[in-house]
Chain A
Amino acid sequence: MVISSQKENDVLIKPDKVIKYKNSNIILNISNLSIGYDKKVIAENISFNLKKGELVAIVGVNGIGKSTLLRTIGGFQTKISGSIQIEGKELTTIDTLDLATKVSVVLTEPIASKNMSVKELLALGRQPYTNWLGKLSDEDIAFITKSVSLLELTPFLDKKCYELSDGQLQRVMIARALVQDTSIILLDEPTTHLDLYHKVQILKLLKSIAHKTEKTILFTSHEIELAIQLCDKMLILDGRTNPFEEPCKLIEHKNFETLFPADMISFDANSGSFKIKK
């Protein structure tokens, strides 16, 4: 662990328990979190820390609460108990506009107006920073230009969203999140509906963004095999201990073996892939 020279932050998690962060690289701290709707707990006992520039996948079976976790971190639904701290600040105390400069999202829901041009969509990413009319400053335009070149979107700038393929639109949505210039980017199943090539393309892109721009990227995925190869760390939601580790350590600890029913699918630790039992 790198210990920075910055002064220590005393952060209150529970009234009776003060935790000191010596490492200012921690962007997102989640401890003992329970998530769900109203009183119905979907997943509990979730704890992990994310550092600057990490690419992290959340994996698990359908309905285990991957999206719910992501939506809770994004502030779209309230947690049941535990704490979520973004840059040392408790999520519930962060104002909506303030949160928009810290967390950006790429959701599974389609955008409401597909009639929007790529340019207009990207410009919306600057909303937290623009004036009341939404006028773009030179700095805003510089951010947009940078993201456009990073995601190679120049040929699509004047196209409407309905003219794009799923993979292209996903790249545009990632660029929009990048334009928002937040320390955390949350993506809900960014690779669904894409073929293997485009899946790998998107995931490699996310990895290079995380490492190049020092942004923390957290995404949910069913592509466990790809995530093992590409992610810095992974969170497995299994309904019990919810392990969070580097992929190779998770393999060592045999965490993937119990993910699916053993009589149907087994995990091959050598190749890092799942095999169907015949």
Chain B
Amino acid sequence: MSKQPTYTIHFLALLLVLLVCLSLNISLGSVSISVIDTIKVIFSSDIGESSNSYIIWNYRIPKALTAILVGSGLALSGLLMQTLFRNPLAGPYVLGISSGASLGAALLIMGSSLFSGFITFSAFNDIALAIASSMGSFLVLLVVLTVAVKIKDTMALLIIGLMFGSITGAIVSVLSYFTKAEKLQQFIFWEFGSLGNLTWMQLSILCLCTCIGILLSIRSIKSLNAFLLGENYAKSLGIHLKKSRYIIIIATGLLAGCITAFAGPIAFIGLAVPHLTRQLFHTTDHKILIPAVLCCGAILMLICDTIAQLPGSMSVLPINAITSIFGAPVVIWLLVRKKKMMF
């Protein structure tokens, strides 16, 4: 038998596409700046006073980096969940993990007005938001996993995810009823999802969490591959089930929670990207799939973001709407074409 394929050409092509999308994303926007000017601004040594350089450094580059982190992080958490739950329909949004994060964020944003004066520093605020959302997603993830161990039925699991969506939705509406208008507005804007508006401080927290998530996933490559056979087989291959499961859950919760905290609940990227990636890479080996979904997720998110800002116009669409408009048909198309969803 020959060695395993490494897909070098695939990865080089993906990186190239990623670079093209990145430069397009940075150069397109309400103010049109040509690609060449963009590259000039990025590589010139002096951070000039020009408006172009200000727009690029303070608005577009943070936003593009956010898109990359959000896209790759969500895609990876989707891949991890599909393998962990042995369910092709698993994803952070579908299983209610994003709802959990929403609840955490809602409690913090709107609940903090009830304990006014408690949170004052903005840096603390950012970290608190990340922690609250991550806690929310961990909580839902743990409950869903507990149920998944008891109920092996795919449909039941998805319905439970939906129910969590309803419960958190209800709690959020109760909270909004009692909250001040400006806090409510802040929460609603958060819920639309947005890749902009992130300070460099927030961006570095996001980056740190995503990196930890990626490292934990890379550490779990072997157990993830073994989980593809089922838990009993994984155990017979020498995998410590509990330990590996917890590492994967922590990685997923950290990725989905932290991303949802800063960018809002973004739909379908987590579900659709792993399936799209499997169309490009005909393998189930996570050693290949993890870097592949990271690239594909980043590319897709950059494209969605470029569309969302409607180049040349003054208005920006909510990113969540764009990912749903693109993501849902992709899932339907995959289902129709293959008749059966596999992972």
Contact = CB atoms under 8 A, between A and B. Distances in A.
Interface of A: 74-76, 96-101, 103-105, 107, 109-117, 119-125, 127-128, 130, 132-134, 136, 141, 144-145, 148, 157, 162, 180
B228 interface: yes
B229 to A, nearest CB: 5
Nearest to A132: B222
- Which DSSP category, helix, strand, loop or mixed, fits chain B's interface? loop
B1 A127 contact: no
A96 B283 contact: no
Interface of B: 1, 3-4, 83, 86, 219, 221-222, 225-230, 232-233, 235-240, 278, 282-285, 287, 342-343
Nearest first, the 10 A-B pairs at minimum CB distance are A100-B238, A97-B238, A112-B86, A115-B342, A113-B228, A127-B237, A128-B238, A112-B230, A116-B284, A105-B236
B3 A127 contact: no
Contacts, number: 99
B333 to A, nearest CB: 17
B335 to A, nearest CB: 14
A107 B278 contact: no
A141 B237 contact: no
Most B CB contacts (10 A, CB to CB) among A97, A115, A122, A123 go to: A115
Nearest to B86: A112
Nearest to A147: B1
A134 B218 CA distance: 11
A110 B229 CA distance: 8
22 contacts: A76-B232, A76-B235, A96-B238, A101-B238, A103-B236, A105-B233, A105-B236, A107-B230, A109-B230, A110-B230, A112-B228, A112-B229, A113-B229, A115-B342, A119-B1, A120-B283, A124-B237, A125-B237, A128-B237, A133-B287, A157-B1, A180-B237
A158 B246 CA distance: 33
Most A CB contacts (10 A, CB to CB) among B225, B235, B238, B240 go to: B238
B238 A120 contact: no
A111 B3 contact: no
Contacts of A127: 222, 225-226, 237-239
